[in-house]
């Protein structure tokens, strides 16, 4: 050990020495600089730089390769723990993972207490609490950054004014030896500031919230906005030049600059609305967490109990544990009574963990090791983990890690990271790039065409222009080319996205969904898989009595109408053995129970219990606290409005308590009755207690009961068979069955029974000749609406997978009840899943519906595998252990009520009511956002395509390079119309109809065939109408006119009016994205749309009547108004015609131009054949029998579900060399001979389900998978798992 210490110290000193020597060498070389040439100095400095660069790279690579534990221990190296004996992460790593050997190496609990300067009974003492910081501790505080004297082992720590304990040395096997100086007196008087310096404060550093300006800057980085910003600058610059740098006619107002300003305003609206929305959501989330953080913690200081703020707790404090408390820090259990913690929120361990002292835990571990058992199997330890919940009992523990060093804190810090772009953002970015390229190309083409004509005009000298006029003509050409690019950019697109998200998130808040990450809202639109927790999400996380029997005949069921399958009293008359059995709804029990029997049952529940009522600090509701079984029974009595449990309990005179014991699986209490006799109430495992009963209470179907007393009957063979049958029936539904019994005694202690000095009689003697009151079936019931929500998910094409730490039978029961486990589905256990190779996992995850006994890592792996297959995955979680999976998923849902802080931090959306049904609302609103953006794009792109074409054609056709639409007219169409359309189309409310389609793949194009068809055909119609009227309207509207200039103005106004009305009516047309004809569906539910459409029509009318010179329009007569309105309205019937057109020809056309993206090609070979020759693939597929030959199979765990029928291409088959097949023959023959007749015999113990794993649970216990019983024999999965061995 000494040698080890010496080596470690040498290693530390050598590191320090290296740096000192380096400096020394440098100074030494300085003396000889004059004799060294400048060239040598330069070359050596270059070499030094190269070396430094190389060393830096190596150091970075080394750092990247380190695990989190190693990095944390590196941080420890820079901390001077004086006067304490331990460094912070030495203590923290003792709990992650839990390691009793490390605690032993510290000298056990007494060594830890001495090293931290605290006392098991007194806690921290007065000198520690009140002493001010001395010069020494001032030095300590200064050195917390790791620099300066006393900061680390690189400096002479002995110079400090305080005594420093010997260095803690790590032994070769990783354990840490007992500190040499544990009785250092200064450790007991160290001030709190020193404890905080060494071990940190019990707070997590708040994530630096981005300011509003930072959020605005981030919003500006969007590619569409960057494109718009460039367009705005160019447009504004050219607009200002055109208005103030060139001569204008007197009646032409300088309004060209307005276009650029309007684009800037559009950008500002988008940035401000988006960033304010993000800022508000962040504040809302922080407020939610701050409420949870404000609580007191009971600690012992100076020998007295005190309540201190959670942030004031320090390492060394002796903290108290009470039922219902969420543990605030990591610690080691010191003492207490029957403390059990639910660590499922922190570690995923679903069973309650009993807390024992260090000595007791050590004894259990050593005994287990000697017997060759798993020491963790007993579910007992002495470690108190932050984030876990105290279920029952009271006790105390010493705090060893707080804040960022605690288990909870370290996970929280690890989860902080930036979000990735959503699928819609990526597609819109690609669209922005495409529009920029196409717009620039169109602008360049126009510029080139106009420049060719400009040079031709120069050469001809027609028209006659001087140099200045030629310059202006050139600038005009540049302006119209830039205008074309600006027209191509969809200014309203970012606004449409922002408004749709803002509108949806506001509505989602009313639906009890807090959206933390705005983008997650639209990501949910195309979520294809949801991996959900069971406890608390699908179920209520409250154990509840859901079925049972009073006596042996009255079979009650909670909500009997919905759960008729939960009673075994409804057999056909011919088969009925137990004719007196009857079913009754749980809520109607009072109608058949006598008052005496009601009081008896109530007393059996209330008195024989340690649970109690308390106020839930989060919901402020009165809840029962204690064992889940006991709280379920108390709730059962409360729902039936029986006498208050507290009055019943207080009114009972208790003679003897018999606590619950795992050996006898029962608990009991003896009370004195008012008549002077005594009664034992027993409660426990039904299969054990029912065998100790000789009689049972009787309940009649008609509610008849004796005038006094309780009617009982002896348990005969038929009754015993009924009891056993009922227990098995409930057990098959994975209900926890609890029997309630009693026995009366005339005197106490009873005659002939042994008793001690306190007159207490052994349970074994009391628990005989009991009377059975009833059997209750307890489970965590489904939340209301879960079945319907899962059905809606399936209808929407979203697969629901359940991941739970519970056992496989409970998981299967819940999955079946809520409709997750369906024909073709597979159940698997976590330990089996994690052993699969990646290729096997890829094949099975699509059909996997239930993953039982799964760890947080299994859940994360499942999510990663699904994402690798292109699925968009949503994950629900409430515990600290769910953090990694929530962060990995495309969208993470955490629970607002039951969720831990870690889960909320890792999630994107918080379910404020913890209800799975809310996820369906998230999908609905996500699709609403996606549809809003697509509706807007369908409208916007058709407008822009038309505007670009008519601008291009009219500019090329006009000798003055004039467009059909003036700059101000384009402003109204491009900006106001776009903004209004964005607001109108982005505010369509979500409806259930959105769930009637499948989600889009991540790789699916932004535009569908229907959308492209609508954009193309509407653009064709609008372009033809506008160009025909622009060039020929004067001829057929005013054939005999003399005032051609006025006629031309009227035609220009008519064209402008027709174009605007075509857009207004096309916006109504764009409310649908599919081929259905009813475009007015739900229009009256969107008041914004109606209002905006009316405003647009009103403003257009005003522009025509009073716009005059600004808009270059003139007043029109009724005929022109009628024509322009008619041309606009035609957009609606034309839209119906377009929808009726077949998609086939259009799809071919769009595919030819590559508009629909590349089609996904399914792999023709299985992923798990990579690296294998073609011969084995061919042989293995054709001789599939060998895949199931036990002992001689080629690859037993190759789960071929999706691509079982994959075959080699024909050309590969023909080119397969014969010798490659022959090389396999010896192996295959050896396999067949070795296997012999090792096929599972149907009906044998190894195959009780006749080789069909869908019929039995046996397959699960053999590490196999289980198929749903309703799976079709033609299903590939059935053939793989159920059909190939069938005889």
Burial 194-230 (b: 16+ CB within 10 A, else e): bbbbbbbbbebeeeeeeeeeebbeebeebbbbebbee
CB of 1265 within 8 A of CB of 832? yes
How far is Cα 625 from Cα 462, in angstroms, rounded to an integer? 97
Q: Which two tokens stand for residue 898?
A: 């039951």
Placement of tokens 């065998």 in the chain? 691
CA 380 centroid distance within chain: 31
Q: Which two tokens stand for residue 445?
A: 């083409």
A 10 A CB-CB count for 653 gives 11
CB of 527 within 8 A of CB of 926? yes
Alpha helix (H) residue ranges in 326-399? 358-370
The DSSP bridge partners found for residue 305 are 300
Pairing of strands 770-779, 799-803: unpaired
Q: Which two tokens stand for residue 1073?
A: 């994205």
CB of 1002 within 8 A of CB of 870? yes
In the DSSP assignment, the letter for residue 806 is S
Long-range contacts of 1275-1278 (CB under 8 A, 24+ apart): 1275/823, 1275/824, 1276/1200, 1276/1201, 1276/1202, 1276/1204, 1276/1205, 1277/824, 1277/826, 1277/847, 1277/1201, 1278/824, 1278/1254
CA 410 centroid distance within chain: 19
CB of 1071 within 8 A of CB of 1092? no
CB of 1030 within 8 A of CB of 950? yes
How far is Cα 1283 from Cα 1275, in angstroms, rounded to an integer? 9
CB of 485 within 8 A of CB of 478? no
CA 747 centroid distance within chain: 61
E strands, 844-947, are 848-852, 873-877, 891-895, 909-911
* Sign of the CA dihedral with 553 first, then 554, 558, and 563 last: positive
Placement of tokens 């009724």 in the chain? 1118
How far is Cα 410 from Cα 855, in angstroms, rounded to an integer? 19
How far is Cα 389 from Cα 408, in angstroms, rounded to an integer? 12
How far is Cα 198 from Cα 191, in angstroms, rounded to an integer? 11
DSSP string, 698-767: ---TT----SSS--EEE--HHHHHHHHHHHHHHHHTTPEEEEEEEEEESSSSPTT----TT-PPPHHHHS
Active site residues: 533
Reported as half-sphere exposure (CB side, CA atoms, 13 A), residue 348 has a value of 22
Phi, psi of 1275 (to 5 degrees): -65, 135
How far is Cα 351 from Cα 806, in angstroms, rounded to an integer? 9
Phi, psi of 333 (to 5 degrees): -65, 135
How far is Cα 314 from Cα 118, in angstroms, rounded to an integer? 11
């Amino acid at each position: 050990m000494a040698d080890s210490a010496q080596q470690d110290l040498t290693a530390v000193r050598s590191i320090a020495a290296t740096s000192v020597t380096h400096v020394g060498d440098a100074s030494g070389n300085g003396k000889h600089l004059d004799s060294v040439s400048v060239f040598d100095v330069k070359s050596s400095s270059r070499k030094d730089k190269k070396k430094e660069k190389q060393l830096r790279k190596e150091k970075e690579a080394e750092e990247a390769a380190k695990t989190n534990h190693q990095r944390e221990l590196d941080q420890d190296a820079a901390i001077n723990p004086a006067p304490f004996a331990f460094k912070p992460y030495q203590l923290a790593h003792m709990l992650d993972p839990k390691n009793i050997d490390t605690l032993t190496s510290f000298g056990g609990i007494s060594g830890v207490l001495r090293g931290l300067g605290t006392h098991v009974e007194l806690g921290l003492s007065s000198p520690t609490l009140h002493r001010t910081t001395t010069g020494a501790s001032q030095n300590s505080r200064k050195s917390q950054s790791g620099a300066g004297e006393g900061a680390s082992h690189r400096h002479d720590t002995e110079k400090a004014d305080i005594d420093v304990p010997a260095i803690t040395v790590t032994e070769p096997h990783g354990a840490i030896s007992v500190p040499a100086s544990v009785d250092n007196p200064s450790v007991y008087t160290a001030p709190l500031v020193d404890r905080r310096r060494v071990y940190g404060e019990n707070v997590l550093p708040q994530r630096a919230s981005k300011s509003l300006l930072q959020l605005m800057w981030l919003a500006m980085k969007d590619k569409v906005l960057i494109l718009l910003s460039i367009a705005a600058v160019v447009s504004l610059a050219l607009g200002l030049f055109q208005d103030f740098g060139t001569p204008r006619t007197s009646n032409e107002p300088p309004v060209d600059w307005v276009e650029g300003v309007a684009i800037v305003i559009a950008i500002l609206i988008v940035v401000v609305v988006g960033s304010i929305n993000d800022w508000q959501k962040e504040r809302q989330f922080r407020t939610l967490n701050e409420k949870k953080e404000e609580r007191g913690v009971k600690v012992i200081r100076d020998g007295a109990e005190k309540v201190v703020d959670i942030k004031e707790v320090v390492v060394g404090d002796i903290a108290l544990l009470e039922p219902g408390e969420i543990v605030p820090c990591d610690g080691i259990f010191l003492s207490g009574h029957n403390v059990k913690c639910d660590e499922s929120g922190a570690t995923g361990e679903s069973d309650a963990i009993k807390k024992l002292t260090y000595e007791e835990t050590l004894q259990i571990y050593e005994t287990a090791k000697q017997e060759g058992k798993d020491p963790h199997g007993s579910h007992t330890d002495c470690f108190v983990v932050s984030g876990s919940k105290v279920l029952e009992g009271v006790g105390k523990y010493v705090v060893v890690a707080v804040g960022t060093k605690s288990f909870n804190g370290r996970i929280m810090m690890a989860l902080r990271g930036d979000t990735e772009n959503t699928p819609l953002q990526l597609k819109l970015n690609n669209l922005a790039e495409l529009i920029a390229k196409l717009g620039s190309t169109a602008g360049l083409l126009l510029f080139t065409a106009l420049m060719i004509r400009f040079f031709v005009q120069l050469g001809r000298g027609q028209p006659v222009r001087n140099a200045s006029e030629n310059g202006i003509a050139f600038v005009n050409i540049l302006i119209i080319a830039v205008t074309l690019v600006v027209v191509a950019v969809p200014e309203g697109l970012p606004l449409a996205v922002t408004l749709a998200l803002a509108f949806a998130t506001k509505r989602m808040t009313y639906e009890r969904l807090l959206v933390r990450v705005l983008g997650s809202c639209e990501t949910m639109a195309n979520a294809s898989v949801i991996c959900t927790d069971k406890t608390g999400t699908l179920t209520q996380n409250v154990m509840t009595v859901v079925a049972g029997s009073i006596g042996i005949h009255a079979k009650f069921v909670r909500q009997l109408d919905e759960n008729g399958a939960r009673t075994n009293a409804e057999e056909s008359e011919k088969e009925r053995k137990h004719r007196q059995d009857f079913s009754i709804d749980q809520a109607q029990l009072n109608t058949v129970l006598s008052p005496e029997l009601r009081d008896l049952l109530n007393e059996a529940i209330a008195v024989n219990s340690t649970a109690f009522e308390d106020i839930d600090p989060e919901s402020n509701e009165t809840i029962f606290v204690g064992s889940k079984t006991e709280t379920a029974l108390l709730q059962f009595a409360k729902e039936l409005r029986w006498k208050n449990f507290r009055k019943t309990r207080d009114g009972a005179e208790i003679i003897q308590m018999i606590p619950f014991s795992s050996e006898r699986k029962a608990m009991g209490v003896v009370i004195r009755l008012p008549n002077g006799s005594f009664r034992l109430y027993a409660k426990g495992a039904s299969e054990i207690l029912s065998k100790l009963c000789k009689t049972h209470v009787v309940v009649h179907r008609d509610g008849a009961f004796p005038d006094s007393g309780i009617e009982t009957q002896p348990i005969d063979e038929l009754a015993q068979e009924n009891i056993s049958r009922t227990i098995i029936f409930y057990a098959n539904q994975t209900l926890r069955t609890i029997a309630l019994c009693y026995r009366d005694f005339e005197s106490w202690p009873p005659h002939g029974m042994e008793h001690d000095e306190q007159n207490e009689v052994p349970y074994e003697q009391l628990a005989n000749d009991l009377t059975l009151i009833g059997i209750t079936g307890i489970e965590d019931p489904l939340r209301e609406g879960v079945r319907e929500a899962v059905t809606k998910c399936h209808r929407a094409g979203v697969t629901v997978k359940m991941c739970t730490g519970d056992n496989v039978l409970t998981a299967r029961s819940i999955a079946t009840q809520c409709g997750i486990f369906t024909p073709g589905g597979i159940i698997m256990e976590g330990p089996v899943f994690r052993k699969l190779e990646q290729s096997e996992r890829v094949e099975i995850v699509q059909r996997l519906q239930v993953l039982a006994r799964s760890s947080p890592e299994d859940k994360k792996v499942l999510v990663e595998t699904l994402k690798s297959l292109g699925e968009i995955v949503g994950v629900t979680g409430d515990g600290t252990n769910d953090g990694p999976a929530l962060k990995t998923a495309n969208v993470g849902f955490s629970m607002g009520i039951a969720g831990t802080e870690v889960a909320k931090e890792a999630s994107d959306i918080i379910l404020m009511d913890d209800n799975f049904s809310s996820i369906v609302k998230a999908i609905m609103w996500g699709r609403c956002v996606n549809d809003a953006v697509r509706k807007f794009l369908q409208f916007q792109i058709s407008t822009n395509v038309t505007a670009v074409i008519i601008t291009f054609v009219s500019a090329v056709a006009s000798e003055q390079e004039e467009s059909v639409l003036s700059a101000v007219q384009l402003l109204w169409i491009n900006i106001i119309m776009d903004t209004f359309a964005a607001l109108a189309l982005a505010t369509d409310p979500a409806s259930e109809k959105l769930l009637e389609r499948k989600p889009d793949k991540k790789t699916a194009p932004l535009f569908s065939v229907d959308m492209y068809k609508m954009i193309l055909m509407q653009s064709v119609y609008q372009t033809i109408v506008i160009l025909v009227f622009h060039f020929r309207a004067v001829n057929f509207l005013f054939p005999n006119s003399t005032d051609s200039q006025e006629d031309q103005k009227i035609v220009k106004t008519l064209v402008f009016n027709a174009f605007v009305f075509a857009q207004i009516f096309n916006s109504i047309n764009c409310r649908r994205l599919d081929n259905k004809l009813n475009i007015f569906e739900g229009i009256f539910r969107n008041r914004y749309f109606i209002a905006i459409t009316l405003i647009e029509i009103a403003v257009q009318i005003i522009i025509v009547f009073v716009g005059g010179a600004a808009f270059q329009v003139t007043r029109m007569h009724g005929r022109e108004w009628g024509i322009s309105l008619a041309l606009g309205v035609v957009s609606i019937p034309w839209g119906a015609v377009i929808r009726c057109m077949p998609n086939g020809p259009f799809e071919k056309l769009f595919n030819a131009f590559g508009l629909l993206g590349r089609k996904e090609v399914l792999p023709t070979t299985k992923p798990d054949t990579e690296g294998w020759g073609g011969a084995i693939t061919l042989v293995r597929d054709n001789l599939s029998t060998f895949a199931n030959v036990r002992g001689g199979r080629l690859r037993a765990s190759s789960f071929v579900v999706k691509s079982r029928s994959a075959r080699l291409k024909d050309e590969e088959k023909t080119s397969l060399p014969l010798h490659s097949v022959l090389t396999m023959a010896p192996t295959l023959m050896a396999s067949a001979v070795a296997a012999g007749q090792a096929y599972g015999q149907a009906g044998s113990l190894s195959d009780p389900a006749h080789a069909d794993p869908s019929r039995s649970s046996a397959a699960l216990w053999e590490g196999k998978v289980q198929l749903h019983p309703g799976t079709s024999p033609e299903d590939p999965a059935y053939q793989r798992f159920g059909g190939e061995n069938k005889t």
